[in-house]
Amino acid sequence: MSKVDVLVVGAGPVGLLCALLGRLYGLRVLIVDKSSEPLRTGRADALNARSLQLLEIVGLFAELYPLGKTCNTSSVWADGEFVSRQSTWWDNLEGCFHKHFLMLGQAFVERSLDRRVGELDCAVRRNTSVEHVELGEDGCRSILSSGEVVESRFVIGADGSRSAVRDFFAIPFEITRPELTWAVLDGVFETDFPKVPEIIVFQVDTSDVAWIPREGEIDRFYVRMDVAEFDLDQVVAKINRAVRPHELTLKRVEWFSRFSVKESVAERFSVGDRVFLAGDACHIHSVNGGQGLNTGLSDAFNLMWKLGMAANAVSSTEILRTYEQERKPVALSVVETSGALVRSTKYSEGGTHAVDYVKTVERKAGNITGMGIRYGEDGLAGSRLFDFMVHGGDGGLPVGEQARVYSLLDYRFFTLLVFGDAEPDLALPPFVRTIRIRDTPGECPYPDQLLLVRPDSYIAASAPIDDASPIVGYLRSLSQVSVPAWPS
C-alpha cells in the first residue's frame, strides 16, 4: 500500500503539469499512465499567448520558446491568391509581450514536463492503469493494475476523453457528434506554393483544408474528408485541389490520423472535494482554434494552487469548489467557439466559408488567444495580470537590469504587488510574497495600486495604495491563519 497526497491519473501534458505544480507545493504525488513513454509525435500543435505567460511562472518558457515557430496571422486563399490576411486580434492585446501562437508539437511540451517531474522525485509510473477509485471518510482508495493499493487525499483524473476516473463516479458526459470527419497530416512537403508562416484557410467549394505551420521543417494539414474511410493519397489529393494552381508533394510523413468531431462538457468537474477532472477528461471539442491543450493547461494552473493550499491547511476545502465554478464556464465557452469554427468550414449562407471562419476567429479571439478569460466581472478582481517590464532594483532584480513581471512570479505563493513608494501597514501571512514596483520602463498599468495576485497570475483583489482593506478582506476569506493579528 502506498500513501500520497495526490494520485494523478494520466501523464499527458495536463496530468504532468498537475504533478509538477503539486510537487512545487511540497505534496507527495504519484502519477500513473497506461503508456510506456511520453508522446513522440502528433496531437496538439500550438501554445497560445496565455499559456506562454503561465509557463513563464514555472520556468518552462525559456526552454520551450526557442523550439517553436511564432504565428499570429490567419490568411484566406481563394481563386489562386491570398484574398485576406488578419492579425488585429493579436496586435491589439494589452499587457502581453508574446502576441502570437507558438507553433510547437505537444510532444515537446510533454517531454519537458516529464523530465521536470522526474527531477522532482515524481517519475511517471508507466504501463499502469487505475482499476478502481472509491471515496472514504479521509480521502480516496485506488487500486492499480499492478495490484497496488494507493491511499491519497485527492485524485485527479487527467486521463483523456475516455476518462476511467470520470466513469468510476458515473459523471454524465453527453457527447454531441457533428457529422464532420477530418484527417490530420504532419509531414515534410515540397511545393511551389508561396509558403508563409501563417494559418491558411482555403476556400474552394467549402473550406475543407487548413495549413498550419509547425516547428522545424514540418507542416500540418487539417483536411475535412466527410467519409468514414479514406487513405493518405486521397488526403493529399484534396490538399492539391485546395492549393491550385500550385502543386504539393508529400516527402515524409511524421504523423497521420483521422478523427470525428466530438463535443462535450462534464456535468461535474469534482466529486466530494476529493476527486477532480482536468483537460479532456472534463471537456472535449474540435481542434479548431487550438484550444484543447491550452484549456487543459489552464485547468491545471487553476486547480493545483487551490489543492495545495487546502492540503497544507492554509485554506479550507471550500476553495476547491471554486475550481468548477471558474473553469466550467470557460469550457462551455471553448466548446461554443470551436464548434462555430468547425461548422463554418462546411456550412455558410453566402458560400464564404473561409472568410466566415476568420471572422469567427476575430470574434472569439479572447478564447483563442487565452487572454480574454477572466473569473467574474468585478473590476480588476478576476482579470489576468498584465505583463510589463520592471526596472532593476525592484522585485529582487539587480540594479540596471530589466525583466518582465511574469518572470518574477512564483507559483508557490500569492504575490502582493505594491506600486509606488508608499509603505502599506500590512502584516501578511507566509504564503504571500511582496514585490515593490517603484518604476517601469513604460507606462505603469497599475499606478498607485496594491494588487494581490493569485499563484495562477489572476488578480485576487486590488486596492488603492492608502487603503489595504480589500486585500485584507480577501485574505481573511481565504486563510485559516488567525486574522485578528493582521492590521486592517
CATH number for 91: 3.30.9.10
Cα–Cα dist 71/162, whole Å: 32
Enclosing domain of residue 397? 383-479
Which three three-digit cell numbers place residue 448? 498607485
Cα–Cα dist 163/118, whole Å: 24
Whichever domain contains 470, its CATH number is 3.40.30.120
Is the model's pLDDT at 396 over the cut of 80?
no
Cα–Cα dist 362/341, whole Å: 11
Mean predicted confidence (pLDDT) in 156-181: 96
Q: Are 25 and 308 in contact (CB under 8 A)?
A: yes
Per-residue model confidence (pLDDT) at position 488: 28
Is residue 387 located within the same domain as residue 352?
no
Question: Directed axis angle between helix 292-311 and helix 321-344, to 10°?
Answer: 180
Confidence of residue 415 (pLDDT cuts 50, 70, 90): very high
CB atoms closer than 10 angstroms to residue 247: 12
Is residue 196 located within the same domain as residue 323?
no
Examine residue 56 and state whether it is found in any structural domain, yes or no: yes
Is the model's pLDDT at 484 over the cut of 60?
no
CB atoms closer than 10 angstroms to residue 318: 12
Per-residue model confidence (pLDDT) at position 394: 64
Domain boundary among 232, 260, 288: 260
Q: Are 5 and 32 in contact (CB under 8 A)?
A: no
Is residue 408 located within the same domain as residue 471?
yes
Question: Directed axis angle between helix 13-24 and helix 106-119, to 10°?
Answer: 30
The bridge status of strand 264-265 relative to strand 283-284 is antiparallel
End-to-end CA distance of the chain: 48
Per-residue model confidence (pLDDT) at position 480: 55
Is the model's pLDDT at 253 over the cut of 60?
yes
∠ CA 452-455-459, rounded to 5°? 35
pLDDT tens-digit map of 5-21: 999 999 999 999 999 99
pLDDT tens-digit map of 423-460: 777 889 999 999 988 878 888 899 999 999 999 999 99
Which three three-digit cell numbers place residue 227? 467519409
pLDDT tens-digit map of 39-68: 999 889 999 999 999 999 999 999 999 999
Is the model's pLDDT at 367 over the cut of 60?
yes
Q: Which residues pair with 271 in a beta bridge?
A: 275
Whichever domain contains 149, its CATH number is 3.50.50.60
pLDDT tens-digit map of 101-144: 999 999 999 999 999 999 999 999 999 999 999 998 889 999 99
Is residue 33 located within the same domain as residue 119?
yes
Is the model's pLDDT at 395 over the cut of 70?
no
Cα–Cα dist 34/129, whole Å: 5
Cα–Cα dist 327/325, whole Å: 6
Is residue 157 located within the same domain as residue 195?
no
pLDDT tens-digit map of 328-348: 999 999 999 999 999 999 999
Q: Are 338 and 329 in contact (CB under 8 A)?
A: no
Q: What percent of the chain has pLDDT over 90?
A: 85
Mean pLDDT of the chain: 93
Is residue 28 located within the same domain as residue 125?
yes
Domain boundary among 335, 369, 403: 369
| Length of the chain counted residue by residue | 488
The count of structural domains within the chain is 3
Is residue 8 located within the same domain as residue 121?
yes
Is the model's pLDDT at 482 over the cut of 60?
no
Is the model's pLDDT at 487 over the cut of 50?
no
Q: What is the 3-state secondary structure (H, E, C) of the chain?
A: CEEEEEEEECCCHHHHHHHHHHHHCCCCEEEECCCCCCCCCCCCCEECHHHHHHHHHCCCHHHHHHHCEEECCEEEEECCEEEEEECHHHHCCCCCCCCCEEECCHHHHHHHHHHHHHHCCCCCECCCCEEEEEECCCCEEEEECCCCEEEEEEEEECCCCCCHHHHHCCCCCCCECCCCEEEEEEEEEEECCCCCCCEEEEECCCCCEEEEECCCCCEEEEEECCCCCCCHHHHHHHHHHHHCCCCEEEEEEEEEEEEECCEEECCCCEECCCEEECHHHCEECCCCCCCHHHHHHHHHHHHHHHHHHHHCCCECHHHHHHHHHHHHHHHHHHHHHHHHHHHHCCCCCCCCHHHHHHHHHHHCHHHHHCCCCCCCCCCCCCCECCCCEEECCCCCCCCCCEEEHHHHCCCCCEEEEEECCCCCCCCCCCCEEEEEECCCCCCCCCCCEEEEECCCCEEEEEEECCCCHHHHHHHHHHECCCHHHCCC
Examine residue 329 and state whether it is found in any structural domain, yes or no: yes
Q: What percent of the chain has pLDDT over 70?
A: 97
Is residue 387 located within the same domain as residue 457?
yes
Is residue 408 located within the same domain as residue 352?
no
Is residue 307 located within the same domain as residue 438?
no
Domain boundary among 260, 280, 312: 260
Phi, psi at residue 125, to the nearest 5°?
-85, 100
The bridge status of strand 432-437 relative to strand 414-419 is parallel
Is the model's pLDDT at 398 over the cut of 80?
no
